[in-house]
Amino acid sequence: MKKLKKFLRPLGIALLVIGVTLALGFVERTTDRTPIGDLQVHVEGGEGLHFIDEQAVRAEILDHGVAVLNAPTSDVDVAGIETRLRNIPAVAKAEAYHTMDGVLHVDVVQREPIVRVFNTDGNSFYIDRKGWTMPVSSKYTARVLVVTGNLNEAGAIDGVHYVHADDSLAHAALSDDIHRLATFIVNDPFWNAMIDQVLVNTDHEFELIPRIGAQRILLGDVTALPQRFEKLRLFYQKGIPKADWRRYDRIDLRFADQIVCTKRTTP
Angle of helix 54-62 relative to helix 78-86, nearest 10 degrees?
A: 130
Note the pLDDT of residue 196.
92
pLDDT of residue 194: 93
Q: What is the model's pLDDT at position 238?
A: 77
Question: Span 62-69, mean pLDDT?
Answer: 80
pLDDT at residue 75 in the model: 87
Q: Which domains does the chain have, with CATH numbers?
A: 38-110 (3.10.20.310), 113-263 (3.40.50)
User: If residue 61 lies in a helix (H) or strand (E), which one and from where to where?
Assistant: helix 54-62
Q: Is the pLDDT of residue 5 over 60?
A: no
Give whole-number Cα distances, 6 to 1, 11, 83, 137, 240, in Å: 9, 9, 54, 72, 90
Q: Specify the pLDDT at position 223.
A: 93
pTM of the predicted model, to two decimals? Answer: 0.81
- 247 HSE (CA, 13 A, CB side): 10
Average pLDDT over residues 135-162: 88
The pLDDT of residue 234: 87
Model pLDDT, residue 20: 44
At 198, the amino acid letter reads V
Which range, 76-85, 178-187, 233-242, is most confident? 178-187
